[in-house]
Amino acid sequence: MQQLIKPIGIYPLVYFRILFGLLMFCEGIGAVLINWVQEHYVEPTIHFGYIGLEWIRPLAGNGMVYLYLVMALLGFLIMVGWRYKLSSFLFFLLFGYSFFSEKTHYLNHHYLIWLISGLMVTLPAHRKYSLDVRRRPELETEVAPQWTLWLFRAQLVLVYFYAGVAKLQPDWLAAKSMSIWMSAKTHFYVIGPYLNTPAMIQLVVWGGLVFDFLIGFALLWPRTRMVAFWVAFAFHIFNSAVFHVGVFPYFMIAANVLFFSPEQIARWFFRKKISPELLQDVPLKQPHWQLRLGAQFCLLYLGFQLLFPLRHFFIPGDVNWTEEGHRFSWRMMLRTKRGHVYYQVKDPASGHVLYVSPNDYLVREQLKELPKHPDMIWQFAQFLKLEFQKKGIANPEVYAISRLSLNGYPAHPIVDPTVDLAAIPYTWGAKSWVTPRPEADGWPWVKQIISEK
């Protein structure tokens, strides 16, 4: 515990406050300018909330556009350190609101940004080079408790490492998903013809696996840190160029700088020379009980982050098929799904059956994601139940007729077409109405090894 509250230079926190605020300013403005907010929040008339949090709904009309512009402003205020605690707290709330109000476009990097924004609320990143210090000079300090820096580092190592753990599966090693991804990139200018070659696909598959497993630890070790940083830099720039994953690569590059020592960050970005030995004698401005509480929070938070992404190992079924435990677990680029679904709505009183297409209700992105996620299929069935009750059918039965292909294998139903989804409650964990991944799917070389043994 004493090591966690040991004084270190505050410069890494100040550096990251400035970069985080700048990136969030650009992200908020960019999401509006390219119509991303409009496509995902304004145009849909139906929204898929996270089950249990359906009460969090997007703002009506252009409300979400204004919300993203406010978040951009808050990003700017975080960058310059004006009312930092309030600005970072409001950003955390608003980003979380936008994230949890619509899960159709769930992305791991949005989840990570939300987590990091929440952590920043607890950190004294405004106590140097900020408008808060100019307004209240007594806030200024040269030091921060060591846990504030190690909290970021540990979170980043977990993201990388669990991304590597998730790749230890036959489909990834057989390049099933990556082959499909790369085949859709051949039209890219200059690099396109080289992306779909066997050598490039194998490089990405095995290089990605080794990178995710080792890069966090290589960044932690001083002897490999500089090389690891530039390897990570190249990795994230490649992802940005090929997979177009928004601000995430640049966010990770900025965050990876935090693995360098406070002395190096102070020298590179602030032209300040600091001595860690002398800083140990500089008193921290927080009361001792606050320092201990912060260190305890650090341990509890990292304990949760260490365990929660592993929950899918305790849920029967292939997570790539069922999606149980996929979200919030740093499982990236692992599966490609293509499918379709339509619904049968039956009036039990008359026996009359109606066929309903989601195309009549949903926008393009929702139609693309609906067949992939059993929870969304169930949610849309609940929506249809209410819709047809309004039309006079007292207890409509709703059945989903689905076909889904995972990683290029033959399509199969993902939900049982004989189960009335309108009549069953949603339960956590494995579900009887979600079909198991067909045994005929893939993994032939693994099955051959097992049979030979």
Whole-number Å distance between alpha carbons of 90 and 93? 5
204 and 253 belong to one structural domain: yes
Residue 280 lies in a domain: yes
State the Cα–Cα distance between residues 225 and 234, nearest whole angstrom: 14
Q: Which residues contact 21 (CB under 8 A, 6 or more apart)?
A: 75, 76, 77, 78, 79, 80
Q: Which tokens is 205 given? A: 């598959």
**38 and 161, same domain (yes or no):** yes
CB neighbours of residue 336 within 10 Å: 19
Indicate the burial class of 38 (C-beta count within 10 angstroms; 0-12, 13-18, 19 or more).
middle
Domain check: are 44 and 118 in the same one?
yes
Separation in Å, CA 81 to CA 45, 85, 87, 109: 38, 9, 9, 24
Say whether 453 sits in a helix, a strand or coil.
coil
Separation CA 195–CA 183 (nearest Å): 8
- The residue out of 313, 328, 351 marking a domain boundary is 313
Residue 329 lies in a domain: no
Whether residues 263 and 346 share a domain: the answer is no
Number of domains in the chain: 2
Distances (CA, A) of 144 to 80, 125, 255, 296, 376: 19, 9, 18, 16, 44
Give the mean pLDDT per block of 10 residues along the chain (453 residues).
82 98 97 96 96 95 97 98 97 98 95 97 95 96 93 97 95 92 84 88 95 97 97 95 90 97 96 84 78 88 96 94 96 93 96 96 96 98 97 95 95 96 94 87 47 45
**Structure tokens, 149:** 């820096």
Are 260 and 359 in a shared domain? no
Residues 379 and 400: their CA atoms lie apart, in Å, by: 11
- pLDDT for res 280: 78
Residues 304 and 376 placed together within one structural domain of the fold? no
Own/partner long-range contacts of 203-206 (Cβ < 8 Å, ≥24 apart): 204/178, 205/172, 205/173, 205/175, 205/178
Rg (CA), the chain: 25
Residue 439 lies in a domain: yes
Q: Quote the CA–CA distance of 319 and 439 in Å, as a whole number.
A: 14
Shared domain check, 384 and 281: no
In a shared domain, residues 251 and 298: yes
pLDDT at residue 440, rounded to an integer: 52
Same domain (yes/no): 348, 391: yes
| Domain final residue, candidates 313, 328, 355 | 313
**Is the same domain home to 306 and 187?**
yes
Q: End-to-end alpha-carbon separation of the chain, Å? A: 49
Instruction: Say whether both 158 and 231 belong to one domain.
Output: yes
Q: What is the DSSP string of 421-438?
A: GGGS---SS--TTBPPPP
Domain assignment present for residue 330? The answer is no
User: Which pTM value belongs to this model?
Assistant: 0.93
Euclidean distance between CA atoms 84 and 70, whole angstroms: 15
In DSSP notation, 275-333 reads -HHHHTTSPPSS-HHHHHHHHHHHHHHHHHHHHGGGGGGGSSS-HHHH-TTTTTTT--S
Q: 129 in a domain, yes or no?
A: yes
Among 313, 344, 370, which residue terminates a domain?
Answer: 313
**What long-range pairs does 411-419 form, CB within 8 A, spacing at least 24?**
411/338, 411/339, 412/438, 412/441, 414/321, 414/339, 414/371, 414/372, 414/374, 414/377, 415/374, 415/377, 415/378
CB distance 407 to 301 below 8 Å: no
Residues in CB range of 139: below 8 A, 6 or more apart: 126, 127, 132, 133, 285
Residue 270 maps to a domain = yes
The strand pair at 7-9 and 143-145 is best described as antiparallel
Token readout for 392 is 């006079």
Whether 402 contacts 339, CB under 8 Å: yes
- Domain containing 37 equals 7-313
- Residue 196 has a CB neighbour count (10 Å cut-off) of 16
441 and 409 fall within a common domain: yes
Neighbours of 146 (CB within 10 A): 18
Residue with tokens 């998903």, as numbered in its chain? 177
